[in-house]
Structure 1
Amino acid sequence: MGIELELHAERPGRRKKGAPDTPLRASYKHGEGLASALSGLDLHHSGVLGRVDPYRDTAINEQEAELAGRQIVALIERCPTGPERAALLDLAAMLEACATTPGSYLVFIGD
């Protein structure tokens, strides 16, 4: 099981019929580490990142990405080394890109 990331300029699936849904940026190399790092989060008490579903796609907008960016610092501190830390650092960069790109969405692609 893994979670991949894609940053889109607008909500995916909202393009005109026939137009490709191309991400601005993507991360496919830390899927298992990201799923592992997010697996311990509580749906009701872990904010935006706690809502990420490891089995389905979860999209967050730029405002939610800004909130999640504040959460990610604590998660990174709990993972001092290994694939989980690399995945969280990659997620932090994607959250920052989403938060600073008006109208964008970050999609967590569940396995």
Structure 2
Amino acid sequence: MSIDIALYDGHPAGGRRTGARMLRLSSPGAALDDALARHTDPARHRLGRIDPYGDTLFDERDAGAVFEEATALLARCTTEEQRAAVRELRDLLADCAATPGSRLVFLGD
């Protein structure tokens, strides 16, 4: 299992005549899956609600709010692979938060 992350300039389901454009795609691999599963609680963390088997969507406001969770998650990571994956996640969250109208989509298996 592995979650890919796509950053779009709008809602990926379309909504506009031209549809949303993908700005960036990341495949942080199993290390992100492991970090999320081991170090987040779905009852307390929005990051813990990312579905590893389906798609989860954050808009730019969600991404800004979740950035602090990702920073705390980084401190709880136990391997360099997890830390690298969470740093990539933080970069994508920051890009999404800084891009009005954007969406970050977590693409589960």
Write the deviation string for residues 11-53 of structure 1: whole angstroms up to 9, x where unpaired: 1111557x5654101112x12111111113221111x212100
Q: Structure 1: any 5+ residue segments left out of the alignment?
A: none
State the superposition RMSD in angstroms.
1.6
Aligned to 1:88: 86
**Please, which of 43, 56, 59 is the counterpart of residue 57 of structure 2?**
59
Distance in 2 between the 1:32 and 1:50 partners?
15
**Correspondence for 2:35:** 37
Once the two structures are TM-superposed, the CA of residue 81 in structure 1 deviates from its matched residue by: 3.6
Count of residue pairs the alignment pairs up: 108
Q: Is the 8 A contact 2:10 2:21 kept in 1?
A: no
Tell me the distance in 1 between the aligned counterparts of 2:74 and 2:16: 38
In structure 2, distance between residues paired with 1:16 and 1:60:
18
> What are the ranges of 5 or more consecutive residues in structure 2 without an aligned counterpart?
none
TM-score, normalising length: structure 2: 0.90
Matched, 1:103 2:101: yes
Cα displacement (A) at 1:73: 1.1
Which portions of structure 1, spanning 4 or more consecutive aligned residues, are displaced by more than 4 angstroms? none
Shift of 1:4: 0.8
Q: 1:58-97 deviations in whole A, cap 9, x for unaligned?
A: 0100000001101111111112542111100000000000
Once the two structures are aligned, what percentage of the paired residues are identical? 40
